[in-house]
Chains A and B, each alone.
Chain A
Amino acid sequence: MVGKDCVAIACDLRLGLQALTVSNNFPKIFQYGDNVFLGLTGLATDLSTVSDLFRYKVNMYRLREERNIAPKTFANLVSSSLYEKRFGPYFVSPVVAGLDPKTSKPFICGFDSIGCIDFAADFIVSGTATDQLYGMCESLWEPNLAPEDLFETISQALMSAVDRDALSGWGAHVYIIEKDKVTKRLLKGRQD
C-alpha cells in the first residue's frame, strides 16, 4: 500500500494444507536490502525456493554492481526470473514494495505466477483473501496517507479481510517503510 513518502507491506501468519493449519507463525515477507521488500503467497515449498533464489540473485547483483538493488530493478528481476519458468512455473503470486533509493518515491507492484507485472499507484493484494482485501482496500485507502495513518489503514484492511477468509489469519506482520526508517509491527489477531 502506498502512502505519502512511505509504503507499507503486510502479511498474515497462517500456513495451511487446505483446511488443515500446519503453522501459525509463517511470515510471507522477505527483505532484500534497506528498502526493498517482497511478499509471497502460494505454494510453501516454492515460497522458500523463490525467496532463497532472490536472496542469491540480489547478493550477486550487489557484488557485481557494488550498490543495493532498487525496487524497480528488483521487480524486473522477479518478472524475468518467473517468466524463465514459463512452462513449469513457481506457484507463487509475489508483491514488491519499496522506496526508490535515489528519489525516495514509493514503488509497489504485483505479479502473476509467470511474471506479468501489475504496476499500481495505490495498493496490491495477493493470496486466498484477494476478494476480501480488494473490498477493504478499495473502501479504506486514500491518497497521501502519513506513515501512522498508513499503518492503521493497512492493518485494518488486512485484519478485517483475513477474518472473512477461513484460509488466512493467525496474526500478521506489518512493515512501514520510510526514507530512513523501517518499522515492523506484529499484530495478534484472532487465533481461530
Chain B
Amino acid sequence: MAMFSQNPLMNGPNYSFGDAPKIGAPEGAREHRFDPYTDNGGSTLAIAGADFAIMAGDTRLTSGYSINSRHHPKVFKIGGTTADQHDATIVLSVVGFAADGEALKERLDSICKMYRYRHGKPMNVKACAQRLSTILYQKRFFPYYAYAILGGLDEEGKGAVYSYDPVGSYEREQCRAGGAAASLIMPFLDNQVNFKNQYVPGSGEGHALQERERRPLSRNEVEILVKDAFDGAVERHIEVGDGLQMMVITSNGVEEILLPLKKD
C-alpha cells in the first residue's frame, strides 16, 4: 500500500537518512543522502496591544499527510528563573521544523538564564530580540528551519512583537502570522488589527478617502480575533487544527489559555 500513498514519508524509506538505491540507478550504485529537515506544519500568530501581547499557535504536529501529535505546543515561555518558567516575561513561538524549533527555544532560554545569572536582572525583550537574531544568523549556512516570533512588553510597558525569518532578519511589528496558514491569516490581520482598506464613510472618493483612525484593541477583542483567525485557517488548511494555545503577556506575568480547534 505504501507505494500508492501520497504521503511523501510513506514513499521510499521511512527515515530521513536515506541510503536506499535510487530506482532506475545502475546496478550496485547507491545514493547516500542526508535530509536534515522536515516541515511539521502548523501556524502561529502574535498581536501586540497597548499594554499586553498575545502569542498563539495551534498544537497539531504533522509530517506529510500524517498527524503525529494533536498536542505539541509551539509557544514557549523564555528566561524564567526555573524550569517551569512560572516567572517568565518573554514568549517565543516557533513554526516550521519542530526539532529545530525546540533546539532554538532551549538555546535562547539558556542564554536568557545565563544573562540573569551574570547581570542579576532579567533580559528585556529588545535585547532578547537582538540576541535571537544573532543566534539564527550564526547558523546562516545550516539554518534552523524555524519561523520565530518573539513577544513581550517593552521598557515602556507596551506590547512588543518581533518576527524573524529562518536566518535572523527581524522587525518589530504590531502583528504577525507565521507558518503554514500565514498567507490565510496575514491579510485578515491587516484588515482587523491595522484597519487596512477601511475608510471613513463619505469622506471622499477614490484615493481622497480618509483612512479609518487606528485604535489600540482591548485584550478581549484580540483574543476573539485570534480565535476567529485560527477557525478560518483550520477550515482551509489541513496542517492546522486540534488545539489553540494562547499566551497572554501582561505586567502581571504570562497567562496560558488552551482552547479546542476542529480535529478533522
Where the two chains meet, the residues of A that have a C-beta atom closer than 8 Å to any C-beta of B are 131-132, 134-136, 138-140, 156, 159-161, 163-164, 188
Using known A-B contacts A135-B233, A139-B229, A188-B207, determine if residue A160 contacts B187 with beta carbons closer than 8 Å: yes
B53 within 8 A of A: no
**B197 and A135 contact, CB distance less than 8 A:** no
The 10 closest A-B CB pairs, nearest first, are A135-B184, A138-B232, A131-B183, A139-B232, A160-B191, A159-B197, A160-B187, A188-B206, A164-B187, A134-B236
Q: A135-B232, A138-B236, A139-B229 are in contact. Are A163 and B185 (CB under 8 A)?
A: no
Q: Is B238 an interface residue (CB 8 A)?
A: no
Q: Would you call A163 and B231 a contact (CB within 8 A)?
A: no
Minimum CB–CB distance for B197 against chain A, Å: 4
Instruction: Show 20 A/B contacts (Cβ-Cβ < 8 Å), sorted by A.
Output: A132-B183, A135-B181, A135-B183, A135-B186, A135-B187, A135-B232, A136-B191, A138-B233, A138-B236, A139-B228, A140-B188, A156-B191, A156-B197, A160-B191, A160-B196, A163-B190, A163-B196, A163-B197, A164-B186, A188-B206
Q: What residues of A have a CB within 8 angstroms of the CB of B186 in the complex? A: 132, 135, 164
Minimal beta-carbon separation of B176 from chain A (angstroms): 12
**B229's closest neighbor in chain A, by CB?**
A139
B-side interface residues, number (CB < 8 Å): 21
- What's the minimum C-beta distance from B149 to chain A, rounded to whole angstroms? 17
A contact residues around B198 at 8 Å (CB): 156
Q: Mark B218-242, 1 if CB is under 8 A from A, else 0.
A: 0000000000110111011000000
Minimal beta-carbon separation of B9 from chain A (angstroms): 24
B188 & A160 in contact (Cβ 8 Å cutoff): yes
Closest chain A residue, CB of each to CB of B205: A188
In the complex the two chains form, is A135's CB within 8 Å of B236's CB?
yes
A3 to B197, CA, bound (A): 21
- Name the CB-closest residue of B to A139: B232
A161 to B206 alpha-carbon distance, docked (Å)? 19
